[in-house]
Chains A and B, each alone.
Chain A
């Protein structure tokens, strides 16, 4: 498919996911609300990164850089929340 078609498909999926996340907000999911919303957000982000931002054609170095950014975010979250979760 052409680049424009691919982008249009991505937009359609993203809008659909917007609808899903809106709908899910009104369901009674209990503690699963936030994980569900974050998961949907993650899928949307992945779509934007892969399709709009053309991550894979940008080469392995760029992919590594992006992965590194996320990994460092993970370090910050994990070790900090590790403190909060283990406090008396």
Chain B
């Protein structure tokens, strides 16, 4: 039997209303994120339709191994968070903290891999703008690909970083809380955000890493 719910804020009638409102609010926020990233995906679609072969050529310069490892990392971290949420609702403490911190660590690992990838791309002269140089006839299209690559994976990485901070924060909070069950809704909300970040990557991965790989 789970422990008593979180304190009820003065504007709410009962704990159920508070929890429902919080969950609904987070889903609405995620819808705004769908449109935020969606606009970038639209840009990608437009430019990919206009430069199909060039995008294939450019994508060959992404590191498929790094991208695949990153995909696996996020999937596992999402699993950790999903289990943590369930356990938090049961009032657990230590396992929730461990799972949340593991997920955060995996997120940090994701960022490290990403940073390494960026470093390599910059060294190869593929960072758009002044520093860009690509020897080949389609350098404009390749640069466009990398504008989208850095913008979209960069914005995603920013979201991952925020997620890592939030998961770590809640991991610690659950450890130190008097009644961990009171944080169950907050952990659930953080989990929803993290899963969303995972979903965005699920779509980024094929678009940037898997195009143009066929012989």
Contact = CB atoms under 8 A, between A and B. Distances in A.
Q: Do A and B come from the same complex?
A: yes
A77 B42 contact: yes
Given A37-B206, A52-B78, A58-B23, A69 B35 contact: yes
A58 to B, nearest CB: 6
A66 B75 contact: no
Contacts of B210: 21-22, 24-25, 33, 37
Contact of B31 (A28, A41, A69, A84): A69
A88 B64 CA distance: 37
Contacts of B214: 25-29, 33
B195 to A, nearest CB: 5
Contacts of A77: 38, 42, 45
B198 A62 contact: no
Contact of B35 (A4, A34, A37, A76): A76
A70 B203 CA distance: 14
A13 B78 CA distance: 13
B79 A41 contact: no
B34 interface: yes
Contacts, number: 125
B61 interface: no
Interface string A13-37: 0110010011011111100011001
A3 B86 contact: yes
Interface of B: 20, 23-24, 27-28, 30-32, 34-35, 38-39, 42, 45-46, 49-50, 64, 68, 71-72, 75-76, 78-79, 81-83, 86, 191-192, 195-196, 198-199, 202-203, 205-207, 210-211, 213-215
Interface of A: 3-4, 7-8, 10-11, 14-15, 18, 21-22, 24-29, 33-34, 37-38, 40-41, 44-45, 48-49, 51-53, 58-59, 61-62, 65-66, 68-70, 72-73, 76-77, 80-81, 84
20 contacts: A11-B75, A11-B76, A18-B71, A25-B64, A25-B213, A26-B213, A33-B210, A33-B214, A37-B207, A44-B199, A45-B199, A45-B203, A48-B195, A48-B198, A49-B199, A59-B20, A69-B34, A72-B35, A80-B46, A81-B49
